[in-house]
Homo-oligomer: A and B are copies of this chain.
Amino acid sequence: MSYNELRKDYLLNRWVVIATERSRRPTDFSKQKSEAAQTTVCPMCVGNEGMTPPAMMLYLKDNGEIKKAQDPPAGERPKNWLIRCIPNLYPAFSPPKQLQDTTQIFKDKNFGYAIGAHEVIIESPNHDEDPADAELPQLELLIRAYIDRLKALSEKPYVKYVSIFRNFGKEAGASLSHAHSQIIATPMIPSLIQEEMNASKTYREVNGKCVFCDVLEREAAGPRLIHNNGEFIAFTPYASINPMEFWIMPKKHAANILELTDGEVSAFARTLKASLKALKDVVNDPPYNYGFHLAINKEAEDYYHWHVEVYPKLSIWAGFEVSTGTYINTVPPENAAESLRKTIKF
């Protein structure tokens, strides 16, 4: 039939029009090269540590050894770092100042204080060492830093969720161009994650298994697979809401990344690097956002399954999208997967 397709997300009550009728080729977006944010002096580069707050966590290079430093002496700003985790200077969510705050976060069902944390992870001493081009050992360190901060933050009594995300390119919201990720800890479970949890919990109750495990099995065998390295798969989701969107999902069922083995950290780093490099090569280095979807609440362990969603910024969500929550995607995910699959290299 010669109509565009309407597809619904695996879990969310979220529809997308897949423009099969007048779809665009992945390479149509080549002109959308991400524009680097302007900086005169980069506050994240080596030597400029004084321009940012002291780190709460560092990976250091010390006589050829890699060492982790947690909460280094106040005010100390070593220069031999590989990864620097610092508080965001303009935090959206802040730690409580007095202990009693933690029980006073929500005043009523529509109002609370933005208690939590907002941190920045500087991913490398090298300004441009983004994951697509990073050395694997450095990318593994970044993933270890994600795990470290997730562990530290999820133990706080006032934290109910931890969002780990990355903005690349000015159009995707990166205000500084030095390779960095951000972590925001929130005192509630955000609605998108909560809706996924509700749906995956119901699925588990009805079907006796994890919905993501089922999605994985299906997508690993189909036309939306980009890559399968035995431990992780990269695929374009059935109801992708963005052109060239892809997800990375571990085959092993786990609600979050806290228990990743060394081998899994390495496999994840390889998949992340290779798929972002393929995106960069197919679409000419586009702006993108990626975000982890995970659970830190015990009860979700059975039914929630962590993964990363990568959203290239190749279209604008305009009046229709923002007033309906329904999306229009001009690149069918099957076409996106095909071009990424042909390009991906290890």
Chain A residues within 8 Å of B, Cβ to Cβ: 1-8, 10, 12-15, 17, 19, 21-22, 90-94, 97, 101, 105-106, 109-115, 161, 163, 165-167, 171-174, 182, 184, 186-188, 190-195, 238-239, 289-293, 309, 311, 316-320, 322-326, 328
Contacts and interface: CB of A to CB of B under 8 A. Distances in A.
B292 A323 contact: yes
B6 A114 contact: yes
A187 B15 CA distance: 11
A321 to B, nearest CB: 8
Given A1-B113, A309-B323, A6 B318 contact: no
Given A3-B113, A4-B94, A7-B111, 20 more contacts: A5-B112, A6-B112, A6-B113, A6-B187, A13-B191, A13-B194, A15-B190, A15-B191, A21-B94, A161-B324, A167-B319, A174-B318, A182-B319, A186-B326, A190-B326, A191-B325, A193-B324, A291-B322, A291-B323, A291-B324
Nearest to A2: B97
Contact of A324 (B22, B91, B190): B190
A92 B194 CA distance: 29
B190 A110 contact: no
Nearest to A288: B319
A167 B6 contact: no
Given A191-B326, A192-B324, A5 B319 contact: no
Contact of A110 (B7, B184, B317): B7
A63 B3 CA distance: 42
A109 B9 CA distance: 10
B322 A289 contact: yes
B293 A323 contact: yes
Given A13-B191, A15-B191, A173 B5 contact: no
Decide if the interface of chain A is mainly helix, strand, loop or mixed.
mixed
A194 B324 CA distance: 9
Contacts of A94: 3-4, 21
B6 A173 contact: no
Nearest to A97: B2
Nearest to A98: B1
Contacts of A109: 8
B188 A113 contact: no
3 closest Cβ pairs, A-B complex: A291-B323, A173-B318, A165-B319
Nearest to A94: B3
Contacts of A173: 316-319
Contacts of A328: 92
Nearest to A174: B318
Contacts of A19: 92
A111 B194 CA distance: 23
Contacts of A21: 94
Nearest to A165: B319
A95 to B, nearest CB: 10
6 contacts: A7-B111, A8-B109, A8-B110, A13-B194, A173-B316, A289-B319
A316 B172 contact: yes
A15 B105 CA distance: 14
A295 to B, nearest CB: 13
Contacts of A92: 4, 17, 19, 320, 328
